[in-house]
Structures are given as C-alpha cells and as structure tokens.
C-alpha cells in the first residue's frame, strides 16, 4: 500500500499547509481554508492535527541508547554571543571521526532533529545539531510557538551561528577535521548557504532547501548532493537557474528528485513522510558522507 499522503488530502490542502508551515498564513487561515475541502468529513482543525508531527511515534533511537553519547553544549559565536546544540558521538568511537552538522527545519531543534543527529552518529560520525532559536530561549516544545519565534530571528546573526558551528566541528577534539552538513527545508537552505561561505566544507546534503543562489555558485568548493521532492513548487522553481550556474562554475553535484513525494518527505513524524523515498535518500546521504568525509 502506498504511503503517499496525497491519497488522503487533496493538493490544495498541502499547498495551504506549506504556506502555514513557512509563515505565509496564520493557523486560523489554514483551518478556515482546509475546512472548505471537508476531507473525509474532517474539520480544518482536525486536518491540522493530522498533519502536525508525532515525535514519540517516529523516534528511531532513544536518547539513552547505549550505542551513543549525547550532550548539549554551548559554543561561542564571535561578535554574537553563544550557540547551543546537541552533540552526539558513537559510544565505541575509536580514533578521530568525521563530523556532520545537522540543521533543523524552521522550528528549531525539536526531538525529531535530535533523533536524526543520533542516526548520523550511529553511522560512525560525530553529529552536531544547533538550535537557531537559542538566542530567543530555545525550541519551546510547541511547533506553533516555534514557528512564531522563528520569524523573530535575526537571520544575518543566525547564519553566523551556523558558520560558527561548522568552525567548531572543524576544530573539535575527537573530530578528523572533515566537516559535512545536512539540513531539511530551512536547514537545506542553510546547508547550501554554508557551501557558499565555508571554503573548507567537505560535503553538503540539502534536503528540499532553497538551492544555491546562482551568483554564489562560484564560491562552492564542496561536492553537493541535493535532494528534492517532486511536488514542491516553491523550492523547485529556483533549481533550473541554480543548476545552470553550478554547471558553469564546475561544481561537483548530484541532484535527485523523488517521484510521488511532498516537501518534507524525509520527516517521519508527519504524513508527508514517504518511507521508500526517505530510505533511499538517507542511504545516499550516508554513502555520500562516507565517500567525501573519509580521511585523505
């Protein structure tokens, strides 16, 4: 049986949800708009509840899993203060390991992204997942409140936070000095941004993130693995011009568009999750990191 969520909700509902998630419409506007479709007799509020993440149900690796060592750390950000994040290492780590920066969606460091960081660590990497909301008190434990807080961030400062996070991993004791980055939605855009700003970045894997700006393509030295959803008009519209610029700049990249998927297909806490596509994309991600972050 297909797990494609579009079998349950019409395209118009998904477009409304994408606008809601990214702050273009309010919660009330989504509920009113979605309610007009009366999907399976569901109210707009019931549709929103069905679409919101179910973190506990999707957790793959417990925070107390004996195979990992996890802690929250704070690091200095020159000129800006401090950044807090979730640092995860394999418990049986031997020697220096490559590092991976894990960048959340536009809600801050929730339990899903912490789980993703643990998944990365179990592949024999050191993973670090910062919380962009730390200057505003951190992820509040509620997705709606998190979205509201996210719109209050100074994005120039936030970008500097992620640059500082990459620098922290570069010099991390126990790290090999090789740094990769992966991110999802907003975090995918950050992964692309870091590829244009961090000259010694070793690899970047953005999931359905805003593609690199064409004028910045020449700054990219790291190989890219770009993961796109098939149904994602907002993100995919920018890809043709970006791809042309990457080709002209001689950037090493591979891009995949996963058939039958929505924006957010890798997030297994929501109905947008597509297991077949997510498993394949994750397999490619880990293989890409193992290829490009190995010691030279």
- In order, the DSSP letters of 195-230 are HHH-TT--EEEEES-PPPPGGGGGG--S-EEEEEEE
Q: Which of 192, 224, 208, 191 is nearest to 278 (CA)?
A: 208
Q: Which CATH number fits domain 65-292: 3.40.50.1820, 3.40.720.10, 3.20.20.140, 3.90.1150.10?
A: 3.40.50.1820
Other C-beta atoms within 10 Å of 214: how many? 17
- Give pLDDT, residue 48: 81
- Give pLDDT, residue 28: 85
How many Å apart are CA 25 and CA 236, to the nearest integer? 21
- Give pLDDT, residue 296: 46
How many Å apart are CA 137 and CA 296, to the nearest integer? 40
Other C-beta atoms within 10 Å of 280: how many? 14
- Give pLDDT, residue 282: 98
**CA distances, 182 to each of 31, 60, 140, 187, 212 (Å):** 32, 18, 23, 7, 14
How many Å apart are CA 225 and CA 152, to the nearest integer? 30
- Give pLDDT, residue 40: 64
Q: Which two tokens stand for residue 105?
A: 């969606």
Reading the chain (296 residues) residue by residue, the pLDDT tens digits are 344 444 577 878 878 887 887 778 888 888 888 878 766 678 888 888 788 777 777 789 999 999 999 999 999 998 878 999 999 999 998 899 999 999 999 999 999 999 999 999 999 999 999 999 999 999 999 888 998 899 999 999 999 999 999 999 999 999 999 999 999 999 999 999 999 999 999 999 999 999 999 999 999 999 999 999 999 999 999 999 999 999 999 999 999 999 999 999 999 998 889 999 999 999 999 999 999 998 54
How many Å apart are CA 69 and CA 92, to the nearest integer? 9
How many whole angstroms from its chain centre is CA 11? Answer: 23
Q: Are strands 81-90 and 68-77 parallel, antiparallel or unpaired?
A: antiparallel
Where along the chain do its domains lie? 5-51, 65-292
Q: Are strands 203-207 and 175-184 parallel, antiparallel or unpaired?
A: parallel
- Give pLDDT, residue 295: 55
Q: Any bridge partners for residue 231, and if so which?
A: 262
Q: Are strands 126-130 and 81-90 parallel, antiparallel or unpaired?
A: antiparallel
pTM of the model: 0.91
- Give pLDDT, residue 18: 79
């Amino acid at each position: 049986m297909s797990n494609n969520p579009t079998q349950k909700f019409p395209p118009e509902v998904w477009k409304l949800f994408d606008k809601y998630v990214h702050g273009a419409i309010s919660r009330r506007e989504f509920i009113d708009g979605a309610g007009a479709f009366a999907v399976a007799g569901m109210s707009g509020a019931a549709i929103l509840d069905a679409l919101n993440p179910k973190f506990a149900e999707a957790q793959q690796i417990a925070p107390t899993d004996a195979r990992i060592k996890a802690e929250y750390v704070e690091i200095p950000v020159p000129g800006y203060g401090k950044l807090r994040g979730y640092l995860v290492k394999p418990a049986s780590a031997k020697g220096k390991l490559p590092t991976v920066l894990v960048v959340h969606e536009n809600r801050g460091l929730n339990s899903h992204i912490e789980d993703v960081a643990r998944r990365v660590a179990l592949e024999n990497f050191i993973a670090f997942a910062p919380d962009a909301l730390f200057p505003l008190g951190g992820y509040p434990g509620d997705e709606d409140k998190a979205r509201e807080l996210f719109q209050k961030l100074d994005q120039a400062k936030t970008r500097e936070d992620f640059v500082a996070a990459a620098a922290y991993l570069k010099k991390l004791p126990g790290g090999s000095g090789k740094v990769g980055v992966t991110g999802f939605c907003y975090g995918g855009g950050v992964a692309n941004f870091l590829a244009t700003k961090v000259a010694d970045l070793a690899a970047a894997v953005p999931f359905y993130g805003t593609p690199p700006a064409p004028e910045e393509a020449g700054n990219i030295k790291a190989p890219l693995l770009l993961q796109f959803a098939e149904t994602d008009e907002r993100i995919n519209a920018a890809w043709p011009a970006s791809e042309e610029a990457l080709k002209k700049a001689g950037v090493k990249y591979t891009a995949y568009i996963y058939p039958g998927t929505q924006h957010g297909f890798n997030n297994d806490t929501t109905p947008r999750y597509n297991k077949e596509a997510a498993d394949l994309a994750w397999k490619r991600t880990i293989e890409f990191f193992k290829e490009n972050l190995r010691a030279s």
